[in-house]
Structure 1
Amino acid sequence: MQQDIQVTIVGSSNVDITALMARLPGPGETVLADSYQLSPGGKGANQALAAQLAGAATEFIGAVGNDSHSAIALGQLEDAGVKLDRVARTEQPTGVAIIQVDSAAENSIAVISGANSTVTAQAVQAAGAIEGILVLQGEIPASGIKAAMDGATQRIVLNLAPVIELDREYLLKANPLVVNEHEAALILQQLDGSETMSTEAEPVIAQKLMAHGLASLVITLGANGCLVAEQGSGIQQLPAVKVKAVDTTGAGDAFTGAVAARLANGDDLVQAAEFAGKFAALTVQAHGAQASYPRSLQNL
């Protein structure tokens, strides 16, 4: 029998085409890569797998094409037991991400939305009721994000990555908003109505975001851990787990999915972020996004 859904992800699903190389090319430059691989990705699908593996019964709502890439895009979610009944099949091709990773584990990513562009308000409303904690990202249309938020019955985890224009009232529904330092500055720019992105330190940006009325906020800082802020509780910095990173692709998604899973299982936000930091640290020690996610929680 299907377990009651604890986390629902409405979002994107891609096939990642990853090229491994000594260094990333500059503008107009060609660099020979050492190898490449095809693997499942997309921020929504990554977060769905992470939430499931981190201990929450999870559903993914999104869209793929009627093409051979769809099996790659959904394969690891299906194997892990993520509920996929409401993934639409569209005439648009399955989304693709073209990823370059260098020897220092830095990456650059270009995303072709494909079927993800069809996850609009109409599609989300047609999918029906949303169960459990809702998780959203910025790789689907803003109308789909807003429709999902309107249908949410529990708290909303918003990972607005990439940062897209979203009405203030919807930004403030996030609890928490989970972003990296660059995304945090861009969102503050949106909320301030400023033409200039803030270059202030992350704790200051966190304070200013919270002053706009966010219920809670997590700013991920890579090797420097993360900042956690909640109304009435101030800002707390959590250290990162020290590991040797070989590929950071999908680590932020692993973090977000794990946060949602632990919140669904009763952790407070600091506890959830601490767990998610450990979960994400395991993922950067192997190549790929979903393939690097831990299948066991014994080391956490």
Structure 2
Amino acid sequence: MSTVIVVGSVNIDVVAVGDRMPLPGETVTMGQLTETHGGKGGNQAAAAATLGATVHLVAAVGDDPRGTAARRDLAARGVIDDAVTTAPGPTGVAIVLVDRAGENSIAVVPGANAALTPALVVSALTAVTGSDVVVVACLEVPLEAIEAAASTARARGWQFVLNPAPASPLPAALLRLVSVLTPNETELSVLGGIDALLAAGVGAVVVTAGAAGCRVYVTGTAPVRVPASPATVIDTTGAGDAFTAALAVGLSDGRSLLDAARWAAAAGAIATEGFGARGCLPARPQVAARLARTGRADPTHL
């Protein structure tokens, strides 16, 4: 069985749905308001567990009812939460706006996520055994915690997958420890582009591009485009998290990077077909069925 360790955020998502996003300085009326479970770390852990992996989550929640509810949801999805610490104060909150096309805009208030320390990360990763473990992280927790995860993964001989969101320039010492980076187009621009990332020592960059699928870049080989799986989009919130989680599960399974990216593209497509970040997380048979039904289109060189 594949094993994934997720180091990241746990939030409660306050989601407003309407016809369109407001412009700067504008007020619009939204038609629906819902509170759901989220946070990139929690979403990635839930998605990986739904795909059948053994998943350990390293995170922090607040000592409030939202934190209790977040733990309960993760445990119900099969996530091992022994390394989720409870910190004084509120659980993180994300304010999510979704338009009629399913596109979203998100603002995050970190709350307890800021309490995740390098010591907690190192302790949690050291307690896990196995040779094919993949560690996944995002940037919604302190950078020092991410650096601890990356260095510990390298010392253990594990692959380290970094989803660089919310994007900000990253230190060269961290980039050298990244096995696979999974930015979207906007995040890629903030990080300086493909050439700069590969020159900094990132092992591979997989750029997610929504309906255009994803692109895979590895030093010394021609870049490859992996086509998207068709989807009836309801809400794109969490689709990138499902993609990153499925990529990590595929790598832990022993798949090649291209095969894992194809698998992840199908999982990410399915995740857009429900409301909320965890409203339509696919199980392993669903991903296989989607690939079989839509055809396993071969990647093409760019």
**Counterpart Cα distance in 1 of 2:96 and 2:88:** 24
Would you say the 8 A contact 1:156–1:174 is kept in 2? yes
Q: Which runs of 5+ in 2 are unaligned?
A: 291-302
Give the CA deviation at 1:232. Answer: 3.0
**1:227 — aligned with what?**
215
Give the CA deviation at 1:81. Answer: 1.1
**2:241 — aligned with what?**
253
**1:149 — aligned with what?**
150
Give the CA deviation at 1:39. Answer: 0.8
**1:265 — aligned with what?**
253
The 3-state SS of whatever aligns with 1:87 is strand
Give the CA deviation at 1:123. Answer: 3.1
**2:202 — aligned with what?**
214
Superposition map of 1:91-130 within 5 A? 91-127=88-124, 129=126
2:121 corresponds to 1:133: no
Bigger shift: residues 242-251 or 263-272: 242-251
**Counterpart Cα distance in 1 of 2:281 and 2:165:** 20
Would you say the 8 A contact 1:134–1:156 is kept in 2? yes
The 3-state SS of whatever aligns with 1:179 is coil
Q: Deviations over 1:195-215 (max 9, x none)?
A: xxxxxxxxxx43443233321
Would you say the 8 A contact 2:135–2:159 is kept in 1? yes
Give the CA deviation at 1:270. Answer: 0.5
**2:78 — aligned with what?**
81
Q: Deviations over 1:94-141 (max 9, x none)?
A: 100010101111211110000001112233235451642110101001
Q: Deviations over 1:190-245 (max 9, x none)?
A: xxxxxxxxxxxxxxx43443233321110011111110122333210011112231
Q: Deviations over 1:250-297 (max 9, x none)?
A: 000000000001100110110001001001111111110012212452
Q: Deviations over 1:40-97 (max 9, x none)?
A: 1000111111111223111101000111111332333211211101100010211000
Give the CA deviation at 1:172. Answer: 2.1
Select 1:243's aligned residue among 231, 242, 245: 231
**2:299 — aligned with what?**
none
2:19 corresponds to 1:22: yes
The 3-state SS of whatever aligns with 2:223 is strand
Superposition map of 1:164-183 within 5 A? 164-183=168-187
**Counterpart Cα distance in 1 of 2:123 and 2:170:** 21
Select 2:278's aligned residue among 290, 295, 300: 290
The 3-state SS of whatever aligns with 2:49 is helix
Q: Which runs of 5+ in 1 are unaligned?
A: 189-204
**Counterpart Cα distance in 2 of 1:273 and 1:296:** 14
**Counterpart Cα distance in 2 of 1:166 and 1:126:** 24
**Counterpart Cα distance in 2 of 1:73 and 1:179:** 26
**Counterpart Cα distance in 2 of 1:263 and 1:130:** 21
2:271 corresponds to 1:274: no
**Counterpart Cα distance in 1 of 2:127 and 2:31:** 43
- In structure 2, the CA distance between the partners of 1:8 and 1:57, relative to structure 1 (3 Å rule), is same
RMSD: 1.7
**Counterpart Cα distance in 2 of 1:112 and 1:173:** 28
The 3-state SS of whatever aligns with 2:86 is strand
**Counterpart Cα distance in 2 of 1:133 and 1:51:** 11
Select 1:44's aligned residue among 41, 45, 54: 41
**Counterpart Cα distance in 1 of 2:116 and 2:246:** 23
> What TM-score does the superposition give when structure 1 sets the normalisation length?
0.89
Give the CA deviation at 1:181. Answer: 1.1
The 3-state SS of whatever aligns with 1:166 is coil
Bigger shift: residues 276-285 or 237-246: 237-246
The amino acid of 1:248's aligned partner reads T
The amino acid of 2:67's aligned partner reads S
